[in-house]
Amino acid sequence: MLISKIKKITLAGSLCLLASSAAAGYDFDVGEDGKLTFGGYIKVDARYVSGDVGYRDFWIGTGTPLEASASQFRIFANETRFNTKYVHGDVMGFIEMDFLGGGGNQVVSNSANPRIRHAFIKYEGLTAGQTWTTFMNTSAIPETADFAGATVGLAFIRQGQIRYDIGGFQVSIENPESVGGDTANDDLPDVIARYNFKGDWGDISISALGRSLNTDLGNSETAFGGSIAGRIKTFGKDDLRFQFHQGEVGRYVGIGVAQDLVGEEVESTTSYLVAYRHFWTDTLRSTALYGRVETDIGNAERSQWSVNLFQNLTPHLAIGFEVGNFEIGDQDVDSDYAQLSFRYAL
């Protein structure tokens, strides 16, 4: 009987893998109303960077200007991740980890520390735990070889939160933190409200963010910002993805380029991203994108563009090649990059 059950589980997992999309995983029934799903992917990247911004495995809103132009090449697999979803009736739990937690060396073992990405519980519209901020529309993230792609134009944060969803409306309280100011006295959560519009044409979200920030001199400042983002279907399987963020959004946008407080002042940010994905065939596609962010007090200007080509070799294995440029405009430095990626969806 045990062997028979194992065979059934193996067959169900195999059928699920063959019939599902690249983002799905292996399903196992647990009890009368329980299910476990194991998923993730293995991603291997070969990356070359040349210019006067120091090498990074993927671009974020900050970089290291170099006195002289330099070039570097690396092969790594740290973006590889695995996840588990647990469902019992109306309760769902999700855990995901990857290997971008640091550690290791390039001399011998390249051992990388795992880190937690997501850990949350969902029950009847309530979400509690660590996951993507409600301010962020994940469907507007473009397909790229460079991790996340043009992060200067993205709302991109995972953090602890309590969120309630009803229809297309979402409201959450989220972990307060700030870049600059007195972070030891963050006594009020960040508050986010979002509405999602969805249809056969795609989806669009409108988000609003409100925060209380404490300055170094003990003053309390309020910060407000807004966002509109989405994915619009165009011709055939093509789509246009976009994001626009404006206001006192601080750390929520650009991964490190903007501060929440500069001295006693709240910084304002304008950030946007536009990406178009075109399918040459059912399995061959390209994405061209441009992202930019500007801040009003620090006068930061960062931008990134890229063009890529992805081909599915099998329903679960894709290979992609990408070229692009990252620029720190306020310091007049930039670097070009080229990246080859292999991605096997589990």
Domains and CATH numbers, the chain: 31-345 (2.40.160.10)
Instruction: With H, G, I as helix, E, B as strand and everything else as coil, classify residue 148.
Output: coil
Cα separations in angstroms, 302 against 52, 229, 263, 339? 14, 20, 22, 20
Q: Are strands 81-88 and 91-98 parallel, antiparallel or unpaired?
A: antiparallel
Mean pLDDT of 337-342: 98
Mean pLDDT of 5-16: 35
If you write DSSP's letter for every residue of 247-286 in order, what string do you get? ES-GGGBTTTT--SEETTEE--EEEEEEEEEEESSSSEEE
- 330, 346 contact by CB (below 8 A): no
Q: Residue 306 burial by CB count (10 A; 0-12/13-18/19+): exposed, middle or buried?
A: buried
Q: CB atoms < 10 A from the CB of 114, how many?
A: 14
Strand partners, 27: 37
> Using the 8-state DSSP alphabet, how is residue 4 labeled?
H
Q: Put residue 15 in one of left, alpha, beta given phi > 0 → left and psi -120 to 50 → alpha.
A: alpha
pLDDT confidence of residue 14: 35
Q: How far apart are CA 124 and CA 212, in angstroms?
A: 29
241, 240, 239, 245: which is closest to 257 by C-alpha? 245
pLDDT in tens, 106-125: 888 888 999 999 999 999 99
CA end-to-end distance (rounded Å), the chain: 28
274, pLDDT greater than 70? yes
35, pLDDT greater than 50? yes
6, pLDDT greater than 80? no
Q: Pseudo-torsion of CA 310, 276, 50, 107, nearest 10°?
A: -50
275, pLDDT greater than 90? yes
23, 252, 48, 231: which is closest to 133 by C-alpha? 252
Q: Enter the pTM of the model.
A: 0.89
* Residue 74: HSE in the Cβ half-sphere, 13 Å Cα cutoff: 15
318, 320, 19, 342: which is closest to 144 by C-alpha? 320
CA–centroid distance for 52 within its chain: 26
pLDDT confidence of residue 13: 37
Integer Rg of the chain from CA: 21
251, 221, 252: which is closest to 134 by C-alpha? 252
Instruction: With H, G, I as helix, E, B as strand and everything else as coil, classify residue 201.
Output: coil
pLDDT confidence of residue 250: 95
Least confident of 16-25, 39-48, 145-154, 222-231: 16-25
Q: What is the mean pLDDT of the chain?
A: 91
pLDDT confidence of residue 21: 34
Residue that has been written with the tokens 């699920």 in this structure? 16
Q: Are strands 26-30 and 91-98 parallel, antiparallel or unpaired?
A: unpaired
244, 236, 255: which is closest to 302 by C-alpha? 255
* Residue 307: HSE in the Cβ half-sphere, 13 Å Cα cutoff: 0
pLDDT confidence of residue 3: 38
Over pLDDT 90: what percentage of the chain?
82
Least confident of 36-45, 96-105, 233-242: 96-105
Reported as a pLDDT band with limits 50, 70 and 90, residue 185 is confident
Reported as a pLDDT band with limits 50, 70 and 90, residue 24 is low
pLDDT confidence of residue 109: 87
